[in-house]
Amino acid sequence: MRHLLFLLFLLSAIGVKAQPFPTPTKEQMAWHDMEFYWFIHFGPNTFTGKEWGHGDEKEEIFNPSALDCDQWVRIAKQSGAKGIILTAKHHDGFCLWPSKYSTHTIAQSPFENGKGDILRSLADACKRGGIKFGVYISPWDRNHPAYGTPAYNEVYINTMKEIFAAYGPIWELWWDGANGEGPNGKKMVYDFPLFEKTIRTISPSTVIFSDIGPDIRWVGNENGIAGTTNWNRLDTAGFSRGAGGPKQDTLNQGNRFGKNWIPAECDVSIRPGWFWHAEEDSKVKSAVELFQLYLKSVGRGANFLLNVPPDTRGRIHENDSVALVGFQQLLQHAFASPLGKFNRGRWTVRFSTPAEVNTVVLEEDLHLGQMVAGFTLQLEKADGSIELVKGSTIGHKRILCFPGKTLKSIKLRVTEADGRPVIKNIRAYQLPTELLVF
């Protein structure tokens, strides 16, 4: 007991709060390592030019002329993506697989004479390509006749079971929070606790995304940008999905003393819309913009979920693939070889001869929780003087850019922590200045 009191005293004396904090599950740890993966929005909206279909679109309109899921996977891999999450069902209710719980599916479309199955094609292509496969199954359904009645909860659960049984393993399940029914629309009370329990039972290794988790949270915007302070912890008590969620700012930064481990995922589209529209072929984000989004998502301890919507052929448009391959080249070039040598025990990087540096990458080991709340980088310049760069959280990865300087060494000082931090890595780089984000 005396030892324990002494330890507590010691910890409080150095500013460490002895509190039990949530830690990631092994599935969440593996999810953190995924860092970058794709979203694919594809369905009737691809053919009608809409973003939110009404659910009354005729099945005949869904007819991709040259579908090639291996092309999606090939470009995804060339862009560095580790997985793909597909809109199995968006708000219009159209199912990209022949579901027996709906009459608004690919089986009623002319595509491959009603024998097509895009979940099958993509799940198989992902398996062949060695990347993960995930699904977006919109709870909001503007087509299903049972929607708005308790019976729909059962329909939704059966739908999920059908997908998980036929196309698993499903790595990530995506529940969006949208519901645009309006004041006179159908009021649906979703049984989320049962939805969650169902997935935990049939596929315990799947990570579930929604505004408030349980495993991964929305980052609070659809621009792909995490907070420069970004906690993997979040309080969810009293909140619900969609309109009843925490403030967007809170989702963006997390809660320092939050009770649950629910890290942020940054979803953003490579185009203005989530679905492909011909008039947006000229509005594809450039390789540099994608790189900067990487710095603002992965570089702030979150994951980067980039939407790349196939066109009416069922292929990724050339403009998108050029930007994506360019993005990966920038990444490889930028982070190819770190400068200097990291001494783990001392949290320093030393350069044998003074080096030009404008970027530092920090990594915290998260097995026992996220600890760093404030830090300073001490940059030792060639003339021996010291310049300081300050930051707050580190988490899975923190990429800090600053105006370039010639340095002899870099030392990390943790100025505020919620437990004993474990720093896995400190790496220094000199990036092309047009890529930097401050």
Q: How far is the CB of 395 from ligand FUL (least distance, A)?
A: 23
d(C-alpha 286, C-alpha 270), whole Å: 9
Q: How far is the CB of 172 from ligand FUL (least distance, A)?
A: 13
Nearer to ligand FUL, 16 or 160 (CB): 160
Which tokens belong to 48? Answer: 């009608």
CA quadruple 400, 402, 408, 412: dihedral sign: negative
Residue 134: strand, helix, or coil: strand
Contact 252, 220 (CB under 8 A): yes
Which tokens belong to 318? Answer: 């050339």
d(C-alpha 216, C-alpha 416), whole Å: 26
Number of residues that this document lists for the chain: 438
Nearer to ligand FUL, 8 or 178 (CB): 178
Provide the binding-site residues for ligand FUL, judged by CB under 6 A: 51, 176-178, 267, 274
Nearer to ligand FUL, 157 or 268 (CB): 268
Q: How far is the CB of 366 from ligand FUL (least distance, A)?
A: 26
β partners of residue 135:
86, 173
Nearer to ligand FUL, 245 or 395 (CB): 245
Nearer to ligand FUL, 51 or 365 (CB): 51
Calculated CA dihedral for residues 2, 7, 12, 14, nearest 10 degrees:
140
Distances 3 to 6, 8, 10, 18 between C-alpha atoms, Å: 5, 9, 10, 14
Q: How far is the CB of 287 from ligand FUL (least distance, A)?
A: 22
Q: How far is the CB of 93 from ligand FUL (least distance, A)?
A: 13
Residue 7: strand, helix, or coil: helix
Q: How far is the CB of 281 from ligand FUL (least distance, A)?
A: 20
Q: 313: which DSSP letter?
A: T
Residue with tokens 């830690």: 23
Nearer to ligand FUL, 215 or 267 (CB): 267
Q: How far is the CB of 51 from ligand FUL (least distance, A)?
A: 6
d(C-alpha 236, C-alpha 431), whole Å: 39
Tell me which residue of 397, 180, 237, 204 sits closest to 302, measured CA to CA. 397
d(C-alpha 378, C-alpha 371), whole Å: 20
d(C-alpha 21, C-alpha 2), whole Å: 23
Burial class (CB in 10 A: 0-12, 13-18, 19+), 187: exposed
Q: How far is the CB of 44 from ligand FUL (least distance, A)?
A: 13
For 124-155, letters b (16+ CB in 10 Å) and e give bbbeebebbbbbbbbbbbbbbebbeeeebbeb
Q: How far is the CB of 132 from ligand FUL (least distance, A)?
A: 18
Nearer to ligand FUL, 306 or 357 (CB): 306
Q: How far is the CB of 324 from ligand FUL (least distance, A)?
A: 18
Q: How far is the CB of 238 from ligand FUL (least distance, A)?
A: 22
For the chain, state the CA radius of gyration: 23
Nearer to ligand FUL, 162 or 176 (CB): 176
Which tokens belong to 7? Answer: 């330890």
Tell me which residue of 300, 136, 307, 305 sits closest to 208, measured CA to CA. 136
Nearer to ligand FUL, 85 or 199 (CB): 85
d(C-alpha 170, C-alpha 118), whole Å: 15
Nearer to ligand FUL, 199 or 305 (CB): 305
Nearer to ligand FUL, 27 or 51 (CB): 51
